[in-house]
Structure 1
Amino acid sequence: MVSKKKTQGRQKIEIKKIENKNSSQVTFSKRRTGLFKKACELSVLCDVEVATIVFSNNNKAFCFGHPSIENVLHRYLHNSSSSSLLSFSSSSISRVSDASVLEEFNREYMEAVKELEEKKKALNMEDFQHSSQPWWEYINVDFGMELEELVHMKIALEELRKKVLAKVKDRQDHELMIMANNNTNSDGFMATAQLPLNSTM
């Protein structure tokens, strides 16, 4: 009988201050990136506005925000009644924010949004293929559509209507032609059947 090697399993990391300066900087960089990614995921999954600000030991600020750090802070300060918060202006955030980090995570956010929209379209198409409802029931014009998108949809639907009407007319003309040919053949057969036969007697 082979005995299994016993392991300690997953160990819980003790949360305490990292005394080594180099290790602290590495951990700060990794954890900060992970924090920003989580904030990005939250904004995509829940369709919410997010602002995250982290200050290093050197008093350097790293920021991530959607749609932008300034927009979220303006909204927060506008809804806050604290006078101390009002002195924390967006201009100070602009000075301390790391533009390269913000740009990178905003780029990742836009890619995540695009991927999410593609997955939504794929799911909607799958639902449509397995549903007896007409396709236009899946178009929700009351949510998430800008005026420009509605105008483009209106133009597209008008063009679709023209094509459908033209197709219906072609089908109707084709059916009428077939019916006319059938009637002609039927009348010709009946006329031939009524002709007197020549007697050879």
Structure 2
Amino acid sequence: MERKNSSVEGIKMSKMQKSLFKKANELSILCGTEVAIIIFSIGGQPVLFGKPDVESVVYHFMEAKHPAALRNYMKMKKKEEEKKGERKIY
């Protein structure tokens, strides 16, 4: 039963991601904006969407010197380092 539920949830998530990416693409085209979406699955795998591409949008964000950019980047790096430390223990 649990396998069926996870399969159904996976299908729902896939449809929602597709819909979100479609809307983000429309927003980018209609407004002439750059868009990046990064979603982490329950398993920790990233799902990326970017217009024109994720890397350039994230780079642009980091270069904007927005106060949240550096703070969020540092939090992300700290979490990565913590995960690396946890892996070494086991």
The normalised TM-score by structure 1 is 0.32
1-structure distance, mates of 2:23, 2:67: 29
Q: How many residues align?
A: 71
Equivalent AA in structure 1 for residue 67 of structure 2:
S
Q: Which has the higher contact order (CA 8 A, sep 6+)?
A: 2
Correspondence for 1:60 among 45, 69, 75: 45
2-structure distance, mates of 1:23, 1:84: 36
Native 8 Å contact 1:49 1:66 kept in 2: yes
Determine the structure 2 residue equivalent to 1:31: 16
Correspondence for 2:73 among 70, 81, 86: 86
The normalised TM-score by structure 2 is 0.68
Determine the structure 2 residue equivalent to 1:10: none
Gaps of 5+ in 2: 81-90
Q: Percent identity between the aligned chains?
A: 34
Task: Give me the CA root mean square deviation.
Answer: 2.0
Q: Could you say which structure has the higher strand fraction?
A: 2
Gaps of 5+ in 1: 1-19, 93-201
Name which one, 1 or 2, has greater alpha-carbon Rg: 1
Native 8 Å contact 1:77 1:85 kept in 2: no
Task: Give how far 1:54 is off.
Answer: 1.2
Q: Could you say which structure has the higher helix fraction?
A: 2
